[in-house]
Every structure is written in structure tokens, then in C-alpha cells.
């Protein structure tokens, strides 16, 4: 797309999807931290958090776009150059709230860039312990693959259980912050490139 003389090109868009309906959701706070890093890196960001996702209807195949909120989500992801996802580990897997939001992306199937094609996608998982963070992160990244996205090199699991006094909790929080900044930056860096150069020659139909 060409820009008019004297106008600045729109910034690449990074969309964040995730959180829980719980006020103060740690998952959503982690997502916001990563989004903020993507914004610092020069992208526009848009958040679809837990409250928004909780207002979406359950995806029903064949029913078309089920309302204005679904259309808003689908259009934003359709325009996005990068995506950040954040889910709590619920019973060892991705939460239904987040998965339902992702199921609605089925409406991107027929776009020129279907689903998450051509977009870097960073995945963040929170869990109240060490056991299921890894399996949930693997599941979330498998969803990204299925949707043709490009998982970032870094994926993050955060143990939100209370740190034991004296165990270096502050240092752990600082390391976590660095990781969230890194994943936000990785998505933004790829998003900026994706927005400026897309190879269409030879692309399979």
C-alpha cells in the first residue's frame, strides 16, 4: 500500500487475546506487559481481554459471524500483523474462554491471509504450580500451528502460586518481566517486517 506524500504509514498492529474473567487476572496482566513491550517496539496494540472474551457466544459451526463482538475480534485479527495469546492452565489445558475466542477465528478461513497466516504469535500461560504449564503451552502453540501462525521462539509459562518467603521471589518477578518484554518484542519485530514485505510470488493457491 502506498502512502500519500507527507503522511506516515500506519503502524503494524499487534492484537492480544487472553486473560480470565476474574478481576485482576494475572493472565491478563502478563498479556498487557507483553503488549506494552510490543507497543514500545513501535507497533499499535489492541487488547481483547477476559471480560471481552467472556461476552462472546460459544462458537457454533455454520452459524456465521455471531454478533458485533465476534466481528470486532475477527476483523482485528484479520488486520493484525502479530498476535499475543495468554491462557491460564485449566485442568491441564487451554481455558475454554480463550479457546472459544480462537474458535471464532474460523471466520478468517477464506481470507487472502487465512487464520493467523504470516503472523508471529507469542504464547503465554499461567498456572498455579509447575505441573501443567508446559503441557498447556504446548497445546496453545499447537493451536497456533493449526491456525497457520508462526509461534515465536520464546513461549512463556508463569507460575502464579505464592512464592515461598525467602526464595528470591523478587528476582523471579524481574526475570518474568524480562521474558514478557522479550516475547512482546519478538512479536513486534516480526510484525514490523511482515507489514513491510510480503512475498506473494509463487505462493500456493
Binding site for ligand FMN (CB under 6 A): 19-20, 22, 25-28, 88-92, 126-129, 131-132, 160
> Which residues, at least 6 apart from 46, have a Cβ–Cβ distance to it below 8 Å?
13, 14, 15, 16, 76, 80
CB closer to ligand FMN, 28 vs 37: 28
Closer residue to ligand FMN (CB): 26 or 54: 26
CB atoms within 10 A of CB 78: 16
Distance from the first to the final alpha carbon of the chain: 22
Q: Kindly state the smallest distance separating residue 156's Cβ from ligand FMN, in Å.
A: 12
Least distance from ligand FMN to the Cβ atom of residue 16, Å? 13
Sequence-distant (6+) residues with CB within 8 A of 103 are 59
Residues 6+ apart with CB under 8 A from 197: none
Q: Residue 65 Cβ, how far from ligand FMN at the closest point, in Å?
A: 27
Tell me the closest approach of the beta carbon of residue 2 to ligand FMN, in angstroms: 43
Cα angle value 87/149/201 (rounded, 5°) = 165
Question: Which residues fall within 8 angstroms of residue 169, CB to CB, at 6 or more apart?
Answer: 163
Q: Which residue number, 81 or 136, has a Cβ lying nearer to ligand FMN?
A: 136
- If the CB atoms of residues 13 and 156 are measured against ligand FMN, the closer one turns out to be 156
Q: Which is nearer to ligand FMN, 53 or 70 (CB)?
A: 53
Phi, psi of 22 (to 5 degrees): -75, 130
Which residues pair with residue 157 across a beta bridge?
125
CB of 161 to ligand FMN, least distance (A): 7
Amino acid at each position: 500500500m502506498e502512502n500519500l506524500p507527507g503522511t506516515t504509514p500506519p503502524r503494524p498492529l499487534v492484537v492480544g487475546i487472553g486473560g480470565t474473567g476474574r478481576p485482576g487476572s494475572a493472565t491478563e496482566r502478563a498479556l498487557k506487559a507483553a503488549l506494552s513491550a510490543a507497543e514500545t517496539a513501535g507497533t499499535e496494540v489492541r487488547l481483547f481481554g477476559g471480560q471481552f472474551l467472556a461476552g462472546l457466544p460459544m462458537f457454533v459451526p455454520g452459524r456465521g459471524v455471531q454478533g458485533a463482538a465476534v466481528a470486532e475480534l475477527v476483523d482485528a485479527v484479520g488486520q493484525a500483523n502479530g498476535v499475543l495469546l495468554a491462557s491460564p492452565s485449566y485442568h491441564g489445558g487451554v481455558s475454554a474462554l480463550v479457546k472459544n475466542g480462537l474458535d471464532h477465528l474460523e471466520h478468517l478461513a477464506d481470507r487472502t491471509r487465512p487464520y493467523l497466516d504470516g503472523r508471529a504469535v507469542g504464547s503465554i500461560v499461567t498456572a498455579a504450580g509447575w505441573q501443567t504449564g508446559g503441557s498447556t503451552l504446548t497445546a496453545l502453540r499447537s493451536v497456533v500451528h493449526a491456525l497457520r501462525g508462526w509461534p515465536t521462539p520464546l513461549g512463556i509459562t508463569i507460575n502464579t502460586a505464592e512464592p515461598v518467603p525467602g526464595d528470591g521471589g523478587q528476582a523471579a518477578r524481574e526475570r518474568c518481566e524480562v521474558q514478557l518484554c522479550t516475547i512482546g518484542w519478538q512479536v513486534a519485530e516480526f510484525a514490523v517486517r511482515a507489514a513491510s514485505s510480503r512475498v506473494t510470488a509463487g505462493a500456493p493457491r
